[in-house]
Structure 1
Amino acid sequence: MIAKLTGILDDFGPDWAVVDVGGVGYLVFCSARTLSNWVRGDAVVLHTEMQVSETDMRLIGFASSGERAWFRLLTAVQGVGSKVALAILSALTVEELQRACAGGDAAQVARANGVGPKLAARIVNELKDKAGALGFAPGVAGAVAAAGGVALPAGNVAADVVSALQNLGFKPQVAVSAADAAIADLGEEAGVSALIRLALKKASG
């Protein structure tokens, strides 16, 4: 099972990317929201989910473990396959999706391509009680804990940046310091890929 990829973005299209990991290119299907943050040559981190059927085997990639957790919840709902789940994650951030499910806002979920009112209502009804269980902890303080081996809540941007730098060979404290500086300059809303690029420059400087 492939759970995570750290490498260089070799190529991408509307719903897929090829990530070069040590000379091996992995074809990964992603949400449009994840792909919109990348340019070719980026150092990227993808949390992944392998899907295997009688006729197909594919790797699905996510910008954060929080996005992957929501993908798993969505595909557990009857009538929601991987394409529909990725369409929902393309239309909504994980925070927006969490709020929509917790608040019973089916209209928000129905914004996604291929999701009608009935399916949106089913998604919200089935996931309403689970929405509150997925927390999102911002800040580099959590990333410091990650460097020490402490589990973090899903969706932590700082932890993903630190993890990427550590996978590229930087020591934990160097990775944390560079991530801290990058987030201070750009803010977490800049996205993981942009933060990794800047953190790499700071860690190498």
Structure 2
Amino acid sequence: MIGKLTGIILEKNPPEILLEVGDIGYEILCPMSSFYAMGEEKQLSLYIHLSIKEDAHTLYGFISKDEKNLFRELTRVNGIGPKVALAILSHLDIVSLMNAVANEDDVLLAKAPGIGKKTAQKLIVELKDRLEKLELSSQNHRNINTNPNIKQASAALQALGFKSKESKRMLAIINDKTLSTEDIIRLALKNK
């Protein structure tokens, strides 16, 4: 199995790159987030996922190991293939995707190409526990809000008349894990 490739970029045609490694050119599909991270670099290392089907062997490349692991978790969801997983990762970065699942934001997930509302809800149900347990190598991706007062603040906002999705959106940008429920509600109302 191919785990990582390092070589020279010969061509970039999003979502595909042609990477020359030891005089062999590999066609690799990458999410747009990896394309942005590549910049104008000519030398590149990518973490690789090899997908084998009876009619094709397809390489998927990722700048970070975390992105590759998230891609694999997405493809484990029934009905989500590699191309849809790639579209999701092109639409949402790691933190946004993990926050969307943690906050049950099916509206944001449904904006990804190939994902409807039902599929977004299915993703949330199947990924919520798995993503909490997922070991990420970069602490930058671990800023999912785990303040225990968030749920109480969400319930309070809903009691004030805000819809569930609206309250989750208002609370999603609050990352301080030490705030009290009252402070969270005040900040959320300012974010309205």
What is the letter of the counterpart of residue 121 of structure 1?
Q
Quote the residue 2:108 is aligned against.
Answer: 108
Q: Over alpha carbons, which structure has the higher Rg?
A: 2
RMSD: 2.0
Residue 6 of structure 1 and its aligned partner are, at CA, apart by 1.1
1:93 aligned partner: 93
Structure 2 distance, partners of 1:120, 1:38, is: 29
SS of the aligned residue for 1:72 comes to helix
Aligned to 1:171: none
The residue type paired with residue 117 of structure 2 is P
Aligned equivalents of 2:78, 2:32: Cα separation in 1: 23
Check the 8 A contact 2:7/2:43 in 1, yes or no: yes
Unaligned runs of 5+ in 2: 143-192
Distance 1:60 1:79, change over 3 A: same
Corresponding residue for residue 66 of structure 2: 66
Match of 1:185 in 2: none
How many Å apart are 1:136 and its aligned residue?
4.8
- SS state at 1:37 partner: helix
Structure number with the bigger relative contact order (C-alpha 8 A, sep ≥ 6) is 1
SS of the residue corresponding to residue 36 of structure 1 reads helix
2:164 alignment counterpart: none
Contact conserved, 1:11 with 1:40, CA < 8 A, in 2? no
Aligned residues: 141
Shift of 1:40: 5.8
Q: Does the CA-based 8 Å contact 2:66-2:138 persist in structure 1?
A: no
Structure 1: 5+ residue stretches without partners: 140-152, 155-205
Code of the aligned partner of 1:137: S
- Report the alpha carbon displacement of residue 51 of structure 1 after superposing the two structures with TM: 0.6
Counterpart residue number, 2:76:
76
8 Å CA contact 1:9–1:39 kept in 2: the answer is no
Q: Percent identity?
A: 36
Deviations 1:21-40 (A, max 9, x none): 12221111111221233356
User: Normalized against structure 1, the TM-score is what?
Assistant: 0.64
Which stretches of structure 1, 4 residues or longer, exceed 4 Å deviation after superposition? none
1:7 aligns to what?
7
Q: TM-score, normalised by structure 2?
A: 0.68
